[in-house]
Amino acid sequence: MKASKVEPFGHEVSGLDLRNEPNEAEIGEIRDLVHDNGFVLFRGQQLDAARQAAFARRFGPFSGHNASDREGFANRDGEGFTLRIYTNTNALGSIAELDFHSDNAHNPFSLRYLALYGIDVTTGGKPLEGGETLLANAALAVERLPARLRDRLDGLECRITAQSMGSFVRPCIERHWATGRPYLVPSSLTEEIVGLGREESDALCKEIFAILYDPAFVYRHKWREGDLLFWDNRLLHHGRGWYDNRQNRTIRRCAIADELEPTAIV
């Protein structure tokens, strides 16, 4: 196993065929890379849904918070896995852009990890143009905050709301469950900074997002078939770039829950 740094953060890992289960030492090394740099990328993998799920399960239980996640694991013997598919053929991937966010931050048990696998991203022999998965590092962004802004955010909370899916109030700066590393919580799903008026809340969010989502510090993943992108959902916010919907873009998703999530699938 070899890890090569990716700019502006993250690692590409080579020398592992994920159809064969990594040993405990390799899993520990992958986990450390993700906690330190936010994500790891594996190229050229040949994974069906069951093998993708088997890899992801090494890092914790599956999330059962959303019905679309639960349904994929109705059959636990490894056969008939569906997982969640994002594809322009069923309209899930047809939105021009997807704003940055952290999955399930709108409830008490946000996801720990996400694993996306590229199934079909080629049209007529041409690779996908646009449609990149965008990753912004909410931990590194804390380090770039001006001292006055960092001090202010340490005492504030934000309300994260996901339309009809719920709302939850979190500190603007949380600390990672395993490492204690601070990271920013406000995202495109932020309804308000609690205790501030609308104009002041919006202005503060705009200041945060200018730092957090600065394009110079965003990783843009250009998909190839066989890519497995695995990241820490709390340290990183993710989005999706615009693309022409006449192109193929089929990505398979696997969500790893906080172990305390009451609906987690062990």
Question: Chunked in runs of 10, what are the mean pLDDT values of the chain (266 residues)?
Answer: 96 96 96 97 95 93 76 51 66 65 94 96 94 97 97 96 89 97 96 97 98 97 98 97 87 91 85
Q: What is the pLDDT of residue 67?
A: 67
pLDDT computed for residue 9 by the predictor = 97
Residue 9 lies in a domain: yes
Domain housing 11: 2-100+108-127+223-233+245-256
Whole-number pLDDT of residue 98: 84
133 belongs to a structural domain: no
Q: Which helix or strand (DSSP H or E) is residue 218 part of?
A: strand 218-221
Q: Which residues of 67-76 are buried (b: 16+ CB within 10 A; e: fewer)?
A: eebeebbeee
End-to-end CA distance of the chain: 28
Q: Report the alpha-carbon distance of residue 137 to residue 184 in Å, rounded.
A: 9
Sign of CA dihedral 9, 180, 233, 230: positive
Domain CATH code at residue 33: 3.60.130.10
pLDDT of residue 165: 80
Query: Which pLDDT score is estimated for 197?
Result: 96
* Structure confidence at residue 164 (pLDDT): 72
Does the residue 114 lie in any domain?
yes
Kindly state whether residue 46 falls inside one of the protein's structural domains. yes
Residue 211, domain member (yes or no): no
Q: Is residue 112 part of a domain?
A: yes
Domain count of the chain?
1
Whether residue 144 lies inside any domain: the answer is no
Asked if residue 142 is part of any domain, the answer here is: no
